[in-house]
Every structure is written in structure tokens, then in C-alpha cells.
Amino acid sequence: MNIIIAGGDGFCGWPTALYLSKQGHDVSIIDNMARRKWDEELKSNSITPIADLKERVEKWKELTGKEIRTYEGDLNHYDFLKEVLRQERPDAFVHFAEQRSAPYSMIDREHAIFTQVNNVVGTLNVLYGIKEMVPDCHLIKLGTMGEYGTPNIPIEEGYLEVEHKGRKDVLPYPKQPGSFYHLSKVHDSHNIMFTCKIWGIRATDLNQGVVYGLDTEETQMDPILANRLDYDGVFGTALNRFIIQSTVGHDLTVYGKGGQTRGFLNIKDTVRCIEIAAENPADKGEFRVFNQFTEEFSVLDLANKVQKVAQEEGFNTDVAHLDNPRVELEDHFFHAENTKLRDLGLEPHLLTDEVIREILRTVMNHKDRVIEENVLPSVTWK
């Protein structure tokens, strides 16, 4: 298949591009390098050194003989996007190209507006581009489990059967997003669902949990192919952040009580889920929702797991409960369905002590790159 990866220079997009290329698909990347610019803005960095995109794809071709074409530009620039679609004529468009950090969206008014305009308008442009240029193309959109919030009932995969005053219907599952970033994803989902209905777009919305891990088989082939790994209070996700904190002698920073429970998955499962969605496309006019995670943990569960492995590796670290910078429930019911991807063949990589140990040992090689003042949260919701 011809597959475009928008956001293909990022944490999820880069390993996905390599994996799909290795599987024999004809892959191209769209990226505006925004994630690298946000590092400069925040005076932060990836703990792993990352090569520029040109070097990365050249090394991939040298090692495998497979070409990944790159287009540097912004989905908010519609003429650019249309030209890429005209040249590539993709069978699938994988859309990672959004501002992905809840804290970044909550810094101030400008960052909230940027996040929503960048994400919502970019996705609208993709929808119009598919309609006008490649109407049979399958949109595979990265959503988030954070669209649902933490309702006191089980979370279904996109839809809920409701009985009300003697009548029944199947309706989109209610959304309770917890940041301006998560709201942008909800707006995307509504826009995609609407265009599936009116234009016959075929789309899969992957409501992904929190991703952990660093390497896939492909990114381990050469240091030039290394993936980024974030640890700061703005872009670092819980598990990766805890592992990095443990290696530099920092307390593991649990926000509030630590009972906040979420769905998690390994980066190796992210790339496989994209392959499953691509090879089993939605029907024309279908808006399909998969909950893309493999296990559920509370934040305190994760901190305790990391603390145990860190101590076995000779790092004595404490768990510290910080005042929660977010406005969220810290003790709540959480259960979500995630059977659709498994039914299509996903075999999950589960979070074992060995998985944590592998990430920790990789991090140890680069711990001199940690900017310690960036580890603590600096953005508050209030």
C-alpha cells in the first residue's frame, strides 16, 4: 500500500514509518519539524540524541534499500497538502501530526489557541484533501483515550447503546476531555464522523492510551534511527518520566494521590495497531473507533513498578506526591473495552519488570543529557 505518515518525525510517527516500510509498504512522511522547535521553545530536549529527518531516511535506505520520501510542510497549508496527495495518491493517510501535549495546551491563551487551531484545522484540511484528491483513501487518525475522561461506567469503543424513555439508540460515547489538547481531539472526532456521513470518507479513530517505551526492532538497527524520548513536565509521559527520574536520583513525581488510572501501551504495539488498521480498512462512509491500549494502571502503580526495578539496578529513589497541577479525579472507577484490535490480531507487549529494565538501561547511557529543572511540572490547569 502507499501510506503517508503525517507527523512521521515524531515519537510515534518515526517508528511507525520504519515498521510499515519494513513490512513492504510504500511510505512517505509529512512533517513540519514542529516537535523539534518546541524543544527549543521550552529549552528542553530528547534524552536520546536524534538525527535530523534527512539523515534518518538516508540511513534507512542504506541499511534496507527501502526509500521513505519526505515532505517538509504543514497540514495547515492546504495547497502544500493537496500537492503531496496529488503526487502520492495514498491508500492510507496516518495522521499523527498534531500538538500532543495536554500541559503545552494549558500554558496560556496563546498555546491553547495554537493547539486547537493547529490540530482542528489541520485535520479539516486532511478531510477536504481526501475528499478532493483521493476519495477512497482510508484516514487513520490518532485520537486519545483522554477524550472519554473518567466516567463512572465502563468506556466502550466509540459508541454506547442507550435506552431512554422507552427508546433505544447507539450513540457516540459521551466525551469529558480534561485539557484544551484533549478537547481538540474531541473536535477532530466530531469533524471526521460528520465527513464520513456526508462525503463517504472511510476513517478509523484510534483512541490511544499513554505510550511508553523507546525502541522498536527498526529503531535499534542504527543510532541514526534512534527514537526520541521525552522526560520533561510538558511532553514526558508518566512511565518514561519515572524511569528517567530514577536514574538521575530524582524522586518519582506522582501528581496528587496517584490513583489516576489510564490505559497504556508499548510503542511496539502502537506501530502494530497502525498496520492492523491499514490492512483492515474501514468501509466507505464508516467512522470506526478502536480503543488502542493494552493494560490499565494507576500512576502510583507505575511509580511503584519503576521504584522496584530501579532499586534492583542500584538506584535508590523515593516516590513523592506533588500537589496536582491538573484538575482531575485522583480516585475513580476506570474500565475501558479494548477488544477490536485484539480481534484483528494484536498480540500485546505487556509491561513487565524486564521491559522497564530495558528502558532504564537505555536511559542510563544518556542521563547526562537530562536538564533536571525541566523534570518538575511548570504548567498548572488553574
Q: List, by residue number, the catalytic residues.
A: 144, 181, 185
CB 291 within 8 A of CB 340: yes
Count of CA atoms in the C-beta half-sphere (13 A) of 80: 13
d(Cα 202, Cα 135) in Å, to the nearest integer? 9
Listed in sequence order, the residues at least 6 apart from 314 whose beta carbon sits closer than 8 Å to its beta carbon are: none
d(Cα 178, Cα 182) in Å, to the nearest integer? 6
> What Å distances lie between residue 271 and 96, 179, 365, CA to CA?
12, 26, 25
Count of CA atoms in the C-beta half-sphere (13 A) of 326: 20
> What Å distances lie between residue 130 and 136, 188, 193, CA to CA?
8, 15, 14
What is the grid cell recorded at 21?
Answer: 516500510
SS3 at position 285: coil
d(Cα 285, Cα 331) in Å, to the nearest integer? 39
Listed in sequence order, the residues at least 6 apart from 24 whose beta carbon sits closer than 8 Å to its beta carbon are: none
